[in-house]
Chains A and B, each alone.
Chain A
Amino acid sequence: MVVGSIAAIGAGLAAVGAGIGIGKIGGSALESVARQPEAASKIQTMMLIAAAFVEAVALFAVVVSFLGTGA
């Protein structure tokens, strides 16, 4: 038995998008630190900035699904 609104499915898809995006960013950051450990701090800063952008897009979708529940 399925309960809940379609808005919850939308929020779940947004979470999948965020997971894939931030996972890729984290993965390439790890690879590049492995190649050049001296640049670790710079790479970490840039990784956080890029992750915040991807997260923001996922959160736009979450906000829309909040509105979608009608509450």
Chain B
Amino acid sequence: MHFSHIFKSKKIVQSTAFALFLAFFSLNVSAHPTTGTPVSAENHATAAAEGTKEEKFDITGFILHHIADAHSFHMWGEGHHSVSVPLPVILWTDNGLVTFMSSEFHHDDQGKQVVEKNGQRFVNYHEKIYVASATPNAHGEYVDVDAKHKVANVMPLDFSITKNVFTLIFSAVVLIIVFVRVANAYAKRKGKSPKGFQSLIEPVILFIRDDIAIPNLGAKYEGYMPYLLTIFFFIWFNNILGMVPIFPGGANLTGNINLTLVLSVITFLITNVKANGHYWKHIFWMPGVPVPMKIFLAPLELMGIFTKPIALMIRLFANITAGHILVLALLCLIFVFKSAFIAPVSVVFVVFISMIELLVGFIQAFIFTVLTALFIGLAVQEHGEH
């Protein structure tokens, strides 16, 4: 559990250089001129006046666009000159399955480009796919937007491979390849000292076993080790991947509340399915307190069964999303002040915050794993282990 050696690392120069390189890259990737970005509702009227210099930079819309999911990996450029990696769009409509590549939208997410497939017309409005209206509205968009900015068009069921889905599959494949190789290396080199990737992964696995699994789960830790290792490495790898500015990174996967919801639901299921009688007794009829207190505590403990995984979900989602928003906001300072002299200050801040975000990525993976182990441990502990 000796982690202080990380702070005395001799590779601090290399890490700083790499961080600067990443920050400069993210400067290039996110350098959107104001006219090309999807603007918020207030700026819709001014969006038609392309090229006006008086238009205020819409920082909220910019940031929300960059942390949201998308149907393609946009890398650089704007409007028709964008360079992006298109991803498949898979829709389940009333007339069956429709699939096409998102490049058919020609980099449009204002609802202006209509794609016709199977006799149906689709349009991409702010990265959500709707059935296109028959005629365009006043701004040239094929969607009906009412006064409260809600879209009235029909939305088919969207099973597309979006940025987040692609990152999910990519990180799963990478983790499977790495860990199958490490496991095979252990089997082949039985009794010999670890070499190569094994020596990279082994300290981390031992750390999880000795400092997370055994203190919380006691003697029954072995059955739960696969799950704890999976969530630790999955969350850590996706947090790091989210900080990489270019394809295949840069998708805010762990900042997507649906993903953290699934992880905490799995923890919830494991905790409650594996719980023994003592756990349920402590919740519904807490031993050691007077009867009025027992009745008072029962609904509170019942709520507690649900609030603990919900807290897990929100903690991971909010930490990672807040980090991304902070990095984007600091870069946007350059566009808000419309001056290149802010750039050195902004880039230094961004490097500093990115280093913190790398640390936070590790800490959040660690916290999620520790709390999962704790909850499972509380559920399966035998009497007298308080």
Report whether chain A binds chain B: yes
- Option from A40, A41, A42, A52 in Cβ contact (under 8 Å) with B367: A52
Provide the residues of chain A in CB contact with B367, threshold 8 Å. Answer: 48-49, 52
A69 and B1 CA atoms in complex are apart in Å by 43
Number of residues of chain B lying within 8 A (CB) of chain A:
19
Provide the residues of chain B in CB contact with A48, threshold 8 Å. Answer: 363, 366-367
A41 and B7 CA atoms in complex are apart in Å by 12
Provide the residues of chain B in CB contact with A49, threshold 8 Å. Answer: 367, 370
B231 to chain A, nearest CB (A): 15
Given A52-B315, A52-B367, A56-B314, A41-B322 contact (CB < 8 Å): no
A10 and B198 CA atoms in complex are apart in Å by 47
The proximity string for A residues 2-35 relative to B, scoring 1 for CB distances below 8 Å and 0 otherwise, is: 0000000000000000000000000000000000
Binding site for A on B (CB under 8 A): 1-4, 60, 64, 211, 311, 314-315, 317-319, 322, 363-364, 366-367, 370
Interface CB pairs A-B, < 8 A, 27: A40-B4, A41-B1, A41-B4, A44-B3, A44-B4, A45-B1, A45-B3, A45-B211, A48-B363, A49-B367, A52-B315, A52-B363, A52-B364, A52-B367, A56-B314, A56-B318, A59-B314, A59-B315, A59-B319, A59-B322, A60-B311, A60-B318, A62-B318, A62-B322, A63-B314, A63-B318, A71-B64
Given A45-B3, A56-B318, 15 more A-B residue pairs with CB atoms under 8 Å apart are A41-B1, A41-B2, A41-B4, A48-B363, A48-B366, A52-B315, A52-B364, A55-B315, A55-B319, A56-B311, A56-B319, A59-B315, A59-B318, A62-B318, A71-B64
